Amino acid sequence: MYLKSIMSSPIIEKQVLSQNSGSAMNFFGIGDTSKFKLPIPPLPEQQKIASFLTAVDTKIQQLTQKQALLTDYKKGVMQQLFSQQLRFQDENGQEFPAWEETQLSQLMSIPKKMQPAEIDSNKLLTVKLHLKGVLKNNNTESLTLGATNYFVRKKGQFIFGKQNLFNGAFSIIPDEFDGFLSSGDIPVLDINPGKMNPSFFLFYLSRESYYKKLESIASGSGSKRIHESTFLGILIDLPSLPEQTKIASFLTAIDDKIALVTKQLHHAQQFKKGLLQQLFV
């Protein structure tokens, strides 16, 4: 175990890089390991180091497994909730009303377009694929700002990429991006909170099996797009607002647990990396 740990340490990494310094295509063979200079402490110290690193690796494996289990659990629960196999009850233990098929145009609307007095390149938004959310666009150097119309976006609005809605490019604008800008190809829709819980809608849409199917309503030649009016024509199964809130709260709690485990896993991985750097320098 001590040898395994040292072979993945920075001291070996540096020696491997020095062996390959001549060319990126140089072949590194098993025989080259004989040239390595390894710090070899007394056997008792090796055993202590190996034992400690094994404990760290075990923790990382446990957190990785917990992260995967929580993710799978969320996926399974979402399938049951949105197929209505699993239903919540109200505070009195009674069934909520039946879900109703509702067109999104009754729940959302196209806001009035507002253009900024000036375009601030530090306040441009982009929407990442695969449910990665809305982020500040840091790749603005290649943009021709004067040739594109940008519009003011507000917190709480639903934002999506016309060309990649069916690849998971959508989100709700968080408070920190209130007043930021996006182009017409990244439009927004206002959500009526008196009829639809924004978090519920985001969870509803976030099922890969659901949003992938939306490619069928995209139009145009070349890069197909889903325009706002087309999106508003979608029919969804909508529970009562109180049940929407319960579903959103339940799934948000699972997301919080996943985020916590992911943070713990990252810290454990960074701890191991730092430990190896300190032990084998």
> Which pTM value belongs to this model?
0.83
Residue 15 has pLDDT above 60, yes or no: no
- Tell the CATH topology of 100-137+149-238: Adenine-n6-DNA-methyltransferase TaqI; Chain A, domain 2 (3.90.220)
Percent of the chain with pLDDT over 90: 72
For 20-62, write each residue's pLDDT tens digit: 545 554 555 555 555 666 667 788 888 888 888 899 999 999 9
Per CATH, 1-14+40-89+240-281 and 100-137+149-238 having the same topology is answered: no
Give yes or no for a contact between 160 and 187, defined as CB atoms under 8 angstroms apart. Answer: yes
- Angstrom distance (rounded) from CA 158 to CA 172: 5
- Angstrom distance (rounded) from CA 275 to CA 51: 13
Give the dihedral of Cα atoms 261, 266, 270, 276; nearest 10 deg: 70
- Residue extents of the structural domains in the chain: 1-14+40-89+240-281, 100-137+149-238
At residue 9 the predicted structure's pLDDT band, cuts being 50, 70 and 90, is low
- Tell the CATH topology of 1-14+40-89+240-281: Helix Hairpins (1.10.287)
